[in-house]
Amino acid sequence: MTVRTDWTRPEIAALFDLPFDELVYQAATVHRAHHAAGQIQLCTLLSIKTGGCPEDCGYCSQSVYAKTGLEATKLMDVQAVLQKAAQAADNGSHRFCMGAAWRNPKDRDMPAIVEIVKGVRQMGMETCMTLGMLSPEQADMLAEAGLDYYNHNIDTSPERYNEIITTRTMADRLDTLAEVRRAGINVCSGGIVGMGETRADRVGFIHTLATLPAHPESVPVNALVPVKGTVLGDMLADTPLAKIDDIEFVRVVAAARITMPMSMVRLSAGRESMSEATQALCFMAGANSIFTGDKLLTAANAGDDKDAALLAKLGLVPMEAEEPLRACKALEAAD
């Protein structure tokens, strides 16, 4: 199958409008053409620096504008992070993702960040970091350290972006993604649905990612977890908009899989409130990665035991560590 970066919004909207069974069938067909059926990559996400972020993202409890009572912390000690990574590896994770609540990292923090990346890679795990916007020099340092992926979500459609965040622009986000790509690091970029957006916004969100010069190798799809004290949490917590319709969420996953066939589509935040049936439909529609453990940064998550039971019930198995990197190499060959 040809990997396209010239998708139009009407084409993506037409995918969303397909009968549900046809959409899932097409997504499953694309998925099986590019990925091992029945395999799910297990990932662990750790907040290595929590709270105090100067950005005003309306969904985030770590923003200084949020009134959640979350206490800001300093960057974790390198050895403490590596210990958490070792525990994640022992629990079966092959990918270790680390997030710091910064607008952008300070140069003084980079030596510790580099040491963390090198230490986690020595354990044989994939590494991913999300630290905010990066300078070219910082991107090069992360690449030299061997960082596998850099996460920088676009969050929503370009049209809705400034309704969710005002302290940076969509262009700022895309500039950082371009720096990550230039430095030779795999791109991880997705967004959040269920923030009161329209289907047209969901189409715009997928379109923005699917028309980048190269698709993100990793596309996390999050369902909003409304946190009281955040702008969106207070606005949506007690309304029907607080939880996106399950079928519509699966449609987003399927559209991401069809338009970005080589990417890892990650079923991310919000999964703890999804039924087993909804998660199973997401896997059928092409999601092939989940975050395990009891917490995602500051939000609750399903937990290792619950995830293991679900995968066993569905007959799914953890992905071998090298499988995602094979996909990236295949994408490079296709280009």
Residues labelled as active-site residues: 53, 57, 60, 97, 128, 188, 266
- State whether the Cα torsion 177-180-183-187 is positive or negative: negative
Instruction: Give one DSSP letter per residue of 289-324, joined into a string.
Output: EEEESSEETTEE---HHHHHHHHHHHT-EEPPTTHH
Phi, psi of 241 (to 5 degrees): -70, -10
Quickly tell me which residue has 């960082």 as its tokens.
147
Q: How far apart are CA 286 and CA 271, in angstroms?
A: 15
Instruction: Tell me 195's DSSP state.
Output: S
Beta bridge partners of 63: 53
Tokens of 65: 């504008």
How far apart CA 111 and CA 119 sit, in angstroms, is 12
Distance of CA 176 to the CA centre of its chain: 16
